[in-house]
Structure 1
Protein backbone atom coordinates (compact mmCIF):
# COMPACT_ATOMS: atom_id res chain seq x y z
CA UNK A 1 0.00 0.00 0.00
CA UNK A 2 1.54 3.30 -1.11
CA UNK A 3 1.49 6.34 1.15
CA UNK A 4 1.05 9.98 0.22
CA UNK A 5 3.77 11.38 2.45
CA UNK A 6 7.49 11.96 2.03
CA UNK A 7 9.35 9.99 4.72
CA UNK A 8 12.12 12.63 4.89
CA UNK A 9 9.58 15.42 5.50
CA UNK A 10 7.76 13.34 8.13
CA UNK A 11 10.98 12.42 9.90
CA UNK A 12 12.29 15.99 9.81
CA UNK A 13 9.10 17.51 11.15
CA UNK A 14 9.12 14.98 14.00
CA UNK A 15 12.74 15.80 14.84
CA UNK A 16 11.82 19.49 14.97
CA UNK A 17 8.70 18.81 17.06
CA UNK A 18 10.60 16.83 19.69
CA UNK A 19 13.51 19.29 19.66
CA UNK A 20 11.15 22.20 20.33
CA UNK A 21 9.32 20.23 23.02
CA UNK A 22 12.68 19.71 24.69
CA UNK A 23 13.38 23.44 24.36
CA UNK A 24 16.74 23.13 22.63
CA UNK A 25 18.22 24.77 19.56
CA UNK A 26 19.46 23.00 16.45
CA UNK A 27 22.96 23.81 17.62
CA UNK A 28 22.35 22.13 20.99
CA UNK A 29 20.78 19.07 19.33
CA UNK A 30 23.79 18.88 17.01
CA UNK A 31 26.17 18.98 19.98
CA UNK A 32 24.20 16.36 21.91
CA UNK A 33 24.04 14.03 18.91
CA UNK A 34 27.58 14.57 17.63
CA UNK A 35 26.30 15.88 14.30
CA UNK A 36 26.69 19.26 12.59
CA UNK A 37 24.05 21.98 12.97
CA UNK A 38 23.64 22.34 9.21
CA UNK A 39 23.02 18.58 8.97
CA UNK A 40 20.28 18.84 11.65
CA UNK A 41 18.78 21.78 9.75
CA UNK A 42 18.71 19.83 6.48
CA UNK A 43 17.16 16.80 8.22
CA UNK A 44 14.45 18.97 9.76
CA UNK A 45 13.66 20.50 6.35
CA UNK A 46 13.45 17.04 4.79
CA UNK A 47 16.18 17.77 2.27
CA UNK A 48 18.64 15.22 3.61
CA UNK A 49 18.45 11.45 3.79
CA UNK A 50 19.67 10.03 7.07
CA UNK A 51 21.46 6.85 8.07
CA UNK A 52 20.23 4.47 10.72
CA UNK A 53 23.22 5.36 12.89
CA UNK A 54 22.32 9.05 12.77
CA UNK A 55 18.65 8.31 13.51
CA UNK A 56 19.82 6.60 16.69
CA UNK A 57 22.12 9.52 17.59
CA UNK A 58 19.29 12.04 17.20
CA UNK A 59 16.78 9.91 19.10
CA UNK A 60 19.28 9.43 21.94
CA UNK A 61 19.96 13.17 22.06
CA UNK A 62 16.20 13.84 22.20
CA UNK A 63 15.80 11.08 24.81
CA UNK A 64 13.10 9.29 22.82
CA UNK A 65 12.73 5.93 21.12
CA UNK A 66 13.70 5.92 17.45
CA UNK A 67 10.29 4.78 16.16
CA UNK A 68 8.66 7.97 17.44
CA UNK A 69 10.48 9.92 14.74
CA UNK A 70 8.49 8.02 12.09
CA UNK A 71 4.97 8.35 13.53
CA UNK A 72 2.29 10.19 11.64
CA UNK A 73 0.35 12.34 14.08
Structure 2
Protein backbone atom coordinates (compact mmCIF):
# COMPACT_ATOMS: atom_id res chain seq x y z
CA UNK A 1 0.00 0.00 0.00
CA UNK A 2 1.50 3.33 -1.07
CA UNK A 3 1.05 6.26 1.29
CA UNK A 4 0.56 9.83 0.14
CA UNK A 5 2.90 12.52 1.38
CA UNK A 6 1.51 15.34 3.48
CA UNK A 7 0.39 18.46 1.62
CA UNK A 8 2.61 20.33 4.07
CA UNK A 9 5.78 18.31 3.56
CA UNK A 10 7.36 21.52 2.21
CA UNK A 11 7.63 23.04 5.64
CA UNK A 12 8.55 19.72 7.28
CA UNK A 13 11.52 19.34 4.93
CA UNK A 14 12.32 23.06 5.13
CA UNK A 15 12.58 22.97 8.92
CA UNK A 16 14.84 19.92 8.83
CA UNK A 17 17.10 21.66 6.30
CA UNK A 18 17.14 25.01 8.12
CA UNK A 19 17.69 23.64 11.61
CA UNK A 20 20.53 21.15 11.99
CA UNK A 21 19.56 20.69 15.66
CA UNK A 22 16.09 19.38 14.71
CA UNK A 23 15.70 15.66 13.98
CA UNK A 24 11.93 15.35 13.69
CA UNK A 25 8.93 17.58 12.95
CA UNK A 26 5.75 16.91 14.92
CA UNK A 27 2.76 18.65 13.42
CA UNK A 28 -0.71 18.84 14.89
CA UNK A 29 -3.98 20.49 13.90
CA UNK A 30 -5.06 22.32 17.04
CA UNK A 31 -8.30 24.24 16.52
CA UNK A 32 -7.18 26.62 19.28
CA UNK A 33 -3.85 27.40 17.58
CA UNK A 34 -5.66 27.90 14.27
CA UNK A 35 -8.13 30.29 15.94
CA UNK A 36 -5.27 32.34 17.43
CA UNK A 37 -3.58 32.54 14.00
CA UNK A 38 -6.84 33.69 12.39
CA UNK A 39 -7.22 36.54 14.91
CA UNK A 40 -4.13 38.11 13.38
CA UNK A 41 -2.58 39.61 16.51
CA UNK A 42 1.06 39.14 17.50
CA UNK A 43 0.83 37.58 20.95
CA UNK A 44 3.99 38.02 23.00
CA UNK A 45 3.08 35.59 25.78
CA UNK A 46 1.09 32.79 24.19
CA UNK A 47 1.43 29.64 26.27
CA UNK A 48 -1.17 26.93 25.74
CA UNK A 49 0.35 24.84 28.53
CA UNK A 50 2.55 25.87 31.45
CA UNK A 51 5.49 23.74 30.31
CA UNK A 52 5.99 25.65 27.05
CA UNK A 53 8.14 28.50 28.45
CA UNK A 54 10.41 25.99 30.19
CA UNK A 55 10.85 23.41 27.43
CA UNK A 56 10.20 25.37 24.23
CA UNK A 57 10.44 29.09 24.98
CA UNK A 58 8.49 31.54 22.86
CA UNK A 59 5.69 30.21 20.66
CA UNK A 60 5.66 32.02 17.33
CA UNK A 61 2.34 33.13 15.87
CA UNK A 62 2.35 33.50 12.09
CA UNK A 63 -0.24 34.80 9.61
CA UNK A 64 -2.81 32.29 8.38
CA UNK A 65 -1.91 31.39 4.77
CA UNK A 66 -3.58 28.62 2.77
CA UNK A 67 -2.80 25.10 4.05
CA UNK A 68 -0.07 23.41 2.02
CA UNK A 69 0.99 26.65 0.33
CA UNK A 70 4.54 27.86 -0.27
CA UNK A 71 3.65 30.94 1.79
CA UNK A 72 2.81 28.71 4.77
CA UNK A 73 6.10 26.86 4.42
CA UNK A 74 8.03 30.16 4.23
CA UNK A 75 6.29 31.63 7.31
CA UNK A 76 6.85 28.50 9.41
CA UNK A 77 10.49 28.06 8.39
CA UNK A 78 11.19 31.75 9.10
CA UNK A 79 9.56 31.48 12.53
CA UNK A 80 11.62 28.38 13.37
CA UNK A 81 15.02 29.98 12.64
* Structure holding more helix per residue: 1
Q: Name which one, 1 or 2, has greater alpha-carbon Rg.
A: 2
